[in-house]
């Protein structure tokens, strides 16, 4: 069955290439929509490295509106939210040209449905909320809860600013969800959290889980290793200007790695990911390598002795964990990362609650390569069985039919 609709897709960051967590999800959602509908994309380009990829995105869309966003300038502009009494997130992504483009499409009657990716893009869909055009909002995670977590992890004045953002953003998320046709979150845990925070919206909130491209993330016999012989590589992957990732590797290097190298001096921790912050770069040393951007993360995953995901502030399903599991690598993850994946602890993935437990789980894998291999193979079978993107995103197709009689099968 092929559905034919003109879908306005609003995304806060160019959904290509799929090289960081949110872009992986927004990219696969774009491809899923484009295979079934005509897509008109409104998005921001916040990284000069993404500029060459705008034309690639046009292949899947009938119209693309891109706005260049300079993060430093946007951060300053976001402070206007303090005076407006609104979330700083909304001011960060406010743009008159994008708003005018959306309003023109609305006035022309060209849109059959709207898909909003993240609460930061919901202001551009407000003209459609409550109309005959269904608005489906993919919140991904409860971002307001993330800011509340940040507040607890920082000192004043950031703790005050982050707590305020959490309160204001939750109020906005509730207003949007109350008027949207349907709201989605990346895990059932996040959906359940939002139902508790916004009980008036509970009947129209559901999970739309992440997936993994297991054809792309697959081990290959001819793929060379990026590691020096004689080292035992322990790998972390992710965007290294994202604060939860920065916090995770800092904690691992400070609290866990010394326990490991005391027993295994050949161990090396590889931090693999784009835009490493100065705090991440400062971790580089005898037992820590910071790669920065790499052309392909798969060699680092495939030839890792194991992969770690020690995130202490984690929301939703971590793509980095799914990708490592798809590469048949054993993963040791924090309980916050492990829970949403639903893998068998000790069989398909290992989890830990503290630094001592994390080091013990790493040693368990390093001490028994055959056990590590079994965990890795079981991990790949787990994601193959339960995390195919099309299967995960099929729920949105039903919503198109349920919410809009104008969209015909």
What DSSP letter does each residue of 116-171 carry, written as one string? EESGGGGGGGTTTTTSSS-EEEEEES-HHHHHHHHHHHS-TTHHHHHHHHHHHHHH
Does a structural domain hold residue 394? Answer: yes
Q: Residue 409: which pLDDT band, with cuts at 50, 70 and 90?
A: very low
DSSP assigned state of 200? G
Nearest to 93 by CA among 65, 123, 113: 123
pLDDT of residue 391: 85
In a domain, 283, yes or no: yes
- List, for residues 283-308, the tens digit of each pLDDT value: 999 999 999 999 999 999 999 999 99
Give the residue from 318, 395, 403 showing the smallest Cα distance to 138: 395
Q: Does 222 map to a domain? A: no
365 and 392, same domain (yes or no): no
pLDDT surpasses 60 at 2: no
Give yes or no for a contact between 314 and 337, defined as CB atoms under 8 angstroms apart: yes
Report, as an integer, the average pLDDT of 354-370: 97
Do 103 and 130 sit in the same domain of this protein?
Answer: yes
**Distance between CA atoms of residues 369 and 329, nearest Å:** 11
pLDDT of 171-220, one tens digit each?
999 999 999 999 999 999 999 999 999 999 999 999 999 999 999 999 99
Residue 224 domain flag: no
Q: What is the mean pLDDT of residues 9-36?
A: 94
The residues, any chain, with a CB within 8 Å of residue 71's CB and separated by 6 or more, are 46
45 and 184 co-located in one domain: yes
- Residues 128-148, mean pLDDT to the nearest whole number: 93
Residues 203, 337 within the same domain = no
What mean pLDDT value characterizes the chain? 94
Are residues 328 and 378 in contact, defined by beta-carbon separation less than 8 angstroms? no
**Same domain, yes or no: 186 and 105:** yes
Cα(206)–Cα(190) distance, integer angstroms: 9
Predicted confidence (pLDDT) at residue 402 exceeds the cutoff of 80? no
Domain match, 186 and 119 both: yes
CB 310 within 8 A of CB 334: yes
The enclosing domain of 357 has a CATH number of: 3.40.50.2000
Average of per-residue pLDDT across 345-356 = 94
Q: Judge contact between 318 and 311, C-beta under 8 A.
A: yes
DSSP-assigned beta bridge partners for residue 207? 185
Report the pLDDT value the prediction gives residue 396, as an integer from 0 to 100: 86
Residue 388 pLDDT greater than 80, yes or no = yes
pLDDT at 70 over 90: yes
Instruction: Say yes or no: 283 and 354 in one domain.
Output: yes
Q: Are residues 307 and 199 in the same domain?
A: no
pLDDT for 317: 81
- Per-residue pLDDT for 1 more than 50? no
Residue 216 lies in a domain: no
For residues 98 and 52, state if they share a domain. Answer: yes
Q: State mean pLDDT over 60-65.
A: 97
pLDDT the model gives residue 84 = 92
Query: DSSP assignment of 94-120, as one string?
Result: --HHHHHHHHHHHHHT--SEEEEESGG
pLDDT value at 405 more than 90: no
Helix, strand or coil, per DSSP, at residue 368: coil
Cα–Cα distance for residue pair 143/119, rounded to 1 Å: 8
Asked whether the predicted pLDDT for residue 339 surpasses 50, the reply is yes
Task: Decide if 153 is inside a domain.
Answer: yes
What count of Cα atoms within 13 Å lies in the side-chain half-sphere of residue 254?
A: 10
pLDDT of residue 3: 53
Within a domain: 288: yes
Structurally, how many domains does the chain consist of? Answer: 2
| Residue 152 pLDDT > 80 | yes
Residue numbers of the domain that contains 335: 232-386
C-beta separation of 8 from 111 below 8 A: yes
344 pLDDT above the threshold of 90 = no
Global pTM?
A: 0.87
> Which pLDDT tens digit goes with each residue over 97-137?
999 999 999 999 989 999 999 999 999 999 899 888 999 99
Within a domain: residue 223?
Answer: no
The verdict on 289 and 310 lying in the same domain is yes
**Same domain membership, residue 205 and residue 287:** no
Model confidence band, residue 400 (pLDDT cutoffs 50, 70, 90): confident
Q: 15 with 44: CB under 8 angstroms? A: no
**What is the separation, in whole angstroms, between the first and last Cα of the chain?**
7
348 and 396 share one domain: no
Q: pLDDT tens-digit profile of 233-286?
A: 999 999 999 999 999 999 999 999 999 999 999 999 999 999 999 999 999 999
């Amino acid at each position: 069955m092929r559905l034919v609709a003109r879908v306005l897709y609003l995304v806060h960051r160019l959904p290509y290439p799929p090289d960081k967590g949110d872009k992986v999800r927004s990219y696969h959602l774009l491809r899923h929509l484009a295979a079934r509908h005509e897509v008109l994309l409104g998005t921001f380009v916040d990284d000069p490295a993404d500029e060459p990829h705008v034309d690639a995105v046009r292949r899947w869309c009938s119209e693309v509106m891109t706005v260049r966003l300079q993060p430093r300038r946007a951060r300053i502009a976001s402070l206007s939210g303090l005076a407006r009494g609104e979330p700083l997130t909304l001011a960060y992504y406010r743009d008159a040209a994008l708003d005018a483009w959306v309003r023109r499409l609305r006035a022309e009657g060209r849109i059959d449905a709207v898909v909003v990716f993240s609460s930061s893009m919901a202001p551009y869909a407000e003209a459609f909320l409550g109309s005959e055009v269904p608005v489906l909002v993919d919140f991904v995670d409860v971002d307001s809860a993330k800011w509340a977590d940040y507040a607890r992890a920082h000192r004043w004045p950031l703790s005050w600013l982050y707590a305020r953002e959490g309160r204001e953003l939750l109020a906005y998320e509730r207003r949007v969800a109350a008027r949207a046709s349907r709201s989605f979150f990346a895990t059932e845990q996040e959906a359940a959290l939002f139902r508790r925070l916004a009980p008036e919206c509970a009947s129209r909130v559901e999970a739309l889980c992440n997936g993994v491209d297991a054809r792309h993330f697959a081990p290959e016999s001819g793929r060379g290793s990026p590691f020096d012989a004689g080292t035992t590589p322990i790998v972390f992957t992710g965007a290294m200007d994202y604060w939860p990732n920065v916090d995770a590797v800092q904690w691992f290097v400070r609290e866990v790695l010394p326990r490991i190298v005391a027993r295994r001096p050949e161990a090396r921790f590889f931090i693999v990911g784009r835009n490493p912050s100065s705090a991440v770069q400062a971790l580089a040393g005898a037992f820590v390598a910071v790669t920065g951007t790499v052309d392909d993360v798969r060699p680092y995953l495939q030839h890792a002795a194991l992969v770690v995901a020690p995130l202490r502030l984690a929301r939703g399903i971590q793509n980095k964990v799914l990708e490592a599991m798809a590469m048949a690598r054993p993963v040791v993850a924090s309980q916050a990362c492990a829970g949403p994946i639903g893998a068998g602890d000790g069989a398909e993935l290992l989890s830990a609650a503290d630094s001592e437990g994390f080091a013990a789980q790493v040693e368990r894998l390093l001490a028994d390569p055959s056990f590590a291999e079994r965990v890795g193979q079981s991990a790949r079978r787990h994601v193959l069985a339960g995390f195919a993107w099309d299967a995960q995103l099929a729920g949105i197709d039903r919503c198109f039919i349920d919410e809009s009689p104008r969209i015909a099968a």
